[in-house]
Amino acid sequence: MTLDTVKHAAETPEADQPWAELGLKSDEYARVREILGRRPTGAELAMYSVMWSEHCSYKSSKVHLRQFGQKVPANDAMLVGIGENAGVVDVGQGFAVTFKVESHNHPSYVEPYQGAATGVGGIVRDIIAMGARPVAVVDPLRFGAAEHPDTKRVLPGVVAGIGGYGNCLGLPNIGGERRHRRRLHPGLGNLRRRQTLEAPRRPGRRPLPGEAPHRVHPGGVRREAGRGHPGSRRGGSVVCDQ
């Protein structure tokens, strides 16, 4: 077995590669070759397929999502806006709040328990990344038709995954709801989470815009990914188009 090193890739430009199986389009694969000046190694191809996937890059929806940053009204309350891990909103008296909203449609469809669990983990990570402490979660869930077999497959694992990860972190779930909508792709729901947080500024952390040197700062953001549509959610290498 030949190790597919950079040198080997440069010496074998015509070697067949599974770019389509990994979810890349022909023009994307051509762009990868253009960037590298050669064909990618197997490892590089796998990394490009993940980082350029819908799940990681929002390639089909970022043209719409960027409008949140372009059209937001100017105001003094928005301390950190879109583009960061989480935004920070000043609520007065030296405090700010963070709301993190995330959908985990594709991962929860592919592997319900782990997909939902990592959805909770992702928002916790983003809030902590802003130097704040998560204090609670809220779990509104959206699924397709209740009687659809995929809904029955996905729902129990999603609920268990949310509880498993959240309980391990000791975060109280202060509310939740579940709704079924036939217009959603069968069985593929919008998995949303929201967190608020409150934490003092860490010693040595760079002050946020407008922050006083010793201001108590409970972080703040709100962000939401797209809704579930047939074939529109690609994470890693799989498109769910049943």
All structural domains of the chain, each given as residue ranges with its CATH number in brackets, are: 6-52 (no CATH), 68-239 (3.30.1330.10)
Average pLDDT over residues 140-147: 87
pTM above 0.85, yes or no: no
Average pLDDT over residues 46-56: 90
Which 3 state secondary structure label does DSSP give 184?
coil
Per the annotation, the verdict on 55 as an active-site residue is: yes
Of 8, 55, 106, 185, which is the active-site residue? Answer: 55
Higher pLDDT, 142 or 242: 142
Non-local CB neighbours of 197 within 8 Å, separated by 6+ positions: 97, 98, 127, 132, 133, 134, 135, 218, 219, 220
Average pLDDT over residues 168-192: 69
The string of pLDDT tens digits covering residues 203-225 is: 334 333 333 322 222 333 333 33
Of 8, 64, 104, 217, which is the active-site residue? Answer: 104
Q: How far is CA 181 from CA 107, 108, 141, 167, 225, in A?
A: 19, 17, 11, 28, 18
The string of pLDDT tens digits covering residues 74-95 is: 788 888 877 778 888 898 998 8
Of residues 68, 75, 74, the one with CA closest to residue 90: 75
